[in-house]
Chain A
Amino acid sequence: MNDNIEHVRRISAVMKNVCMAIMVVIPVSHILIWTNFEKAQSLGFYHRTSYMDGYLLTSNLVTGFFISGFLALVAFMAVRALRKFFIQTSIGDIFAVKSAEALSRFAKLLIFYTIVSIPIETLLSIAMSFNNPVGERLLAVSLQTYDVTLIFLSFVIFAISWVMKESVLIAEENAQIV
């Protein structure tokens, strides 16, 4: 039992640092992608947006930067909540209200991220093709298997965090019975 807890603590400490790294990578990559958009798109980023060569202006990029920036901010906050969860578990507070709340917050933000990413990508498609010639502007609404899987996983994590939260409350109440 103690060995397992020690194992959980060690893995949590690693995950905490991974989350910290992701929290740095998100804003940096966001800036790098939008300052080198064409190259980033050739690498697979924002491949669903469409613009015509020669019609991509700075105004499109600035608008796109802010629109997708909102999504990056939500992702950043979700990772921050996950980091809080791993901070708690790394100090051995596995079944604590704080841990359950952090996991619940992460799940809620993940659900929000997945749902909001659909209209955000639609807005992005408009913003990026706004300067295209008339008739070439694009309004794309897409829902891929990836999105559905992410929504499903988010709800699963949310349900687990809910169960965990209730368990913690029951355990705390039991601890008050002598």
Chain B
Amino acid sequence: MPIIVNLDVMLAKRKVKSKDLAEAVGITVQNISLLKSGKVKGIRFGTLEAICDYLDCEPGDILEYRREQS
């Protein structure tokens, strides 16, 4: 999929653990893990908002569009 989730990069930049983010956002660690690996079909605006709020970043810092080479 051309949408890349850079959540792990942001977590490393902010030195935040997945467990802490999960608690702050109100989702499970498993879902954070799935999100980090990009194995999800979508992300709710509410979740994205909470992540951006906690990590003090923009949605574009977490999600990236990389064009697929044909």
Contact = CB atoms under 8 A, between A and B. Distances in A.
Nearest to B30: A178
Interface string A140-178: 000000000000000000000000000000000100111
Interface size classification for chain A: under 10
5 contacts: A177-B44, A178-B31, A178-B35, A178-B40, A178-B43
Contacts of B40: 176-178
A178 B62 CA distance: 14
Contacts of B47: 178
Interface string B14-34: 000000000000010001101
A176 B35 CA distance: 10
Contacts of A177: 40-44
A163 B35 CA distance: 30
Contacts of A173: 41
B10 to A, nearest CB: 15
A176 B47 CA distance: 13
